[in-house]
Chain A
Amino acid sequence: MPFGRLSRVPWLGQVVGAWPLALVAIALVAVRLSKGALLSDAYALLSRPFWPGSAQKEWLQAAQQLDQQTRLSQLELDNRRLRSLLDLQRADPGTVTAPVISREPGGWWHQLVLGVGGLQGIRAGDSVIGPGGLIGRVESVTPTTARVALLTDTASKVGVWVGRTQRHGLLTGVGSSRPVLRFLEKDPQVRPGDVVVTSPASTLVPPGLSVGVIQSVDDKAVPATLAVVQLSAPVASVDWVQVLTRREAAPAGP
């Protein structure tokens, strides 16, 4: 019985008796080999109550937002100036703020009635934007009211543009709350999450108004790819909208 005889060696008994120390040593080696993962994790766990709170995050986000807003307004100014230089958009659209006095986003017709009309300079064909983006176009006008065909109405068709892949499409209402985007080519390489804006080539609506976000893409649709778009403006709950009135185009200069 070799083990019985070995256990009687005095120094070996001490070594075997020190197994807790050996465990600690192995743990230390493990910590060393894992570059202190255990220590860092333990430190993170212990110091969690003292981490920087939400207040600091909000300050940073507010600062970022302010920065982005100033840059946005600057870019809009630039954009307008450059467009006027290029003679793309002769008439600078004025905006008229209008209350929604009748709302019918369900049913057979998807329409709004606004409390402004021909007396305020609204004309049929003007674009209507709500908080968040384009919601429709003025269909008919009386002296004090205007009827708006929403983008979700089956008769609505607006040319739009997917900025990321730079593809044109036709946004068609189907009577549900989400219009369908029909692309002109077979493989437009769009994916859910892409942002849809009004087409830069459109003559019906001002270019570059945000419209919505692509929610799902049907690659197998015939004749070309279809995508379902979630509008960015909450059509069913909008109370005030802005009408972009188009002034008469200035006569072209010499």
Chain B
Amino acid sequence: MASLHNRPLFVVSALVVPLLTLAAPGVLRIGGVPPSWAVLWLLPWSLADGPLSGALAGLALGLLLDCLQLGGATQMPALALLGWWWGRLPRRGPPIERSFSLGLLAMLGSAVLGASVLLQRQAGGGWAALLTAASLHTLLAQVLVTALLAPMICSLLLLLWRRHSASARG
């Protein structure tokens, strides 16, 4: 199964994430908040390539994204954790491929990622600074738009990568 990371083209496709984060296309936003592109790429990668590869991909994506953002907050731990968790999921039962499941997983992942960023950036001010209207708005909007995009983007990527893994196995 673990053969995606042997294909340079698939690995290079991760570079689309920082590019999309920078470009931030205006149509794919809710209330001015863009989706979490890292979650949308990492979810199918981990599901198709296993926990170790998922965690490493999460770490690499986190490194890439951290150097694009202001300040000292990091997304690495949350992304690595998500990659590891999503990589372990297919072992337990039937493969995850339904749109609803993908949307739900992307929703949870985006919420975890957003909460980790929020905690790092605003924990200094106590609860009052954490639960402002602006932070709740950003969190909810990002979770919503990520979950809405996940069935479209993640299904296609998962289909492509599953087919490749299957053909690589023979």
> Could you tell me which A residues sit within 8 Å of B by CB distance?
102-109, 111, 113, 139, 147, 149, 153-155, 174-177, 236
The 9 closest A-B pairs by CB, nearest first: A106-B32, A176-B134, A175-B134, A106-B33, A102-B22, A108-B117, A109-B69, A109-B70, A155-B71
Q: Can you give 22 contacting A-B residue pairs, CB < 8 Å? A: A102-B23, A103-B24, A104-B21, A104-B24, A106-B32, A106-B141, A107-B32, A107-B33, A107-B138, A108-B114, A108-B138, A109-B69, A109-B70, A109-B71, A111-B70, A113-B22, A147-B70, A153-B70, A154-B122, A174-B132, A175-B134, A175-B138
> Which of B31, B70, B135 is most buried by chain A, counting CB atoms within 10 A of its CB?
B70
A102-B24 contact in complex given A107-B34, A174-B132, C-beta closer than 8 Å? yes
A154-B23 contact in complex given A107-B34, A111-B70, A175-B135, C-beta closer than 8 Å? no
Q: How far is the CA of A111 from the CA of B67 in the complex (A)?
A: 13
Q: A108-B69, A154-B122 are in contact. List 7 more A-B contacts (CB 8 A).
A: A104-B24, A106-B29, A106-B141, A108-B118, A174-B132, A175-B138, A176-B137
Q: How far is the CA of A104 from the CA of B23 in the complex (A)?
A: 9
Interface flag for B88 (CB, 8 Å): no
Q: How far is the CA of A103 from the CA of B32 in the complex (A)?
A: 11
With both chains docked as a complex, state the minimum distance between the C-beta of A236 and any C-beta of chain B, in angstroms: 7
Interface flag for B133 (CB, 8 Å): yes
Interface flag for B121 (CB, 8 Å): yes
A155-B70 contact in complex given A103-B24, A174-B132, A176-B134, C-beta closer than 8 Å? yes
With both chains docked as a complex, state the minimum distance between the C-beta of A135 and any C-beta of chain B, in angstroms: 14
> Could you tell me which B residues sit within 8 Å of A by CB distance?
21-24, 29, 31-34, 69-71, 73, 114, 117-118, 121-122, 132-135, 137-138, 141-142
**Residues of A close to B33: CB separation below 8 A:** 106-107
| Contact (Cβ within 8 A) B117 A176 | no
What secondary structure prevails in chain B residues at the interface with A? helix
Q: How far is the CA of A149 from the CA of B71 in the complex (A)?
A: 9
Which residue in chain A gives the minimum CB-CB distance to B29? A106
Q: How far is the CA of A21 from the CA of B137 in the complex (A)?
A: 74
With both chains docked as a complex, state the minimum distance between the C-beta of A77 and any C-beta of chain B, in angstroms: 36
| Contact (Cβ within 8 A) B23 A149 | no
Partner of B32, one of A105, A111, A155: A105
| Contact (Cβ within 8 A) B134 A174 | yes
A108-B121 contact in complex given A139-B70, A155-B70, C-beta closer than 8 Å? yes
With both chains docked as a complex, state the minimum distance between the C-beta of B163 and any C-beta of chain A, in angstroms: 33
**Residues of B close to A175: CB separation below 8 A:** 122, 132, 134-135, 138
| Contact (Cβ within 8 A) A176 B118 | no
With both chains docked as a complex, state the minimum distance between the C-beta of B116 and any C-beta of chain A, in angstroms: 10
**Residues of B close to A102: CB separation below 8 A:** 22-24
| Contact (Cβ within 8 A) A106 B34 | yes
Which residue in chain B gives the minimum CB-CB distance to A236? B32
> Which of A102, A175, A236 is most buried by chain B, counting CB atoms within 10 A of its CB?
A175
Q: How far is the CA of A23 from the CA of B93 in the complex (A)?
A: 99
> Which of A103, A105, A108, A149 is most buried by chain B, counting CB atoms within 10 A of its CB?
A108
**Residues of B close to A174: CB separation below 8 A:** 132, 134
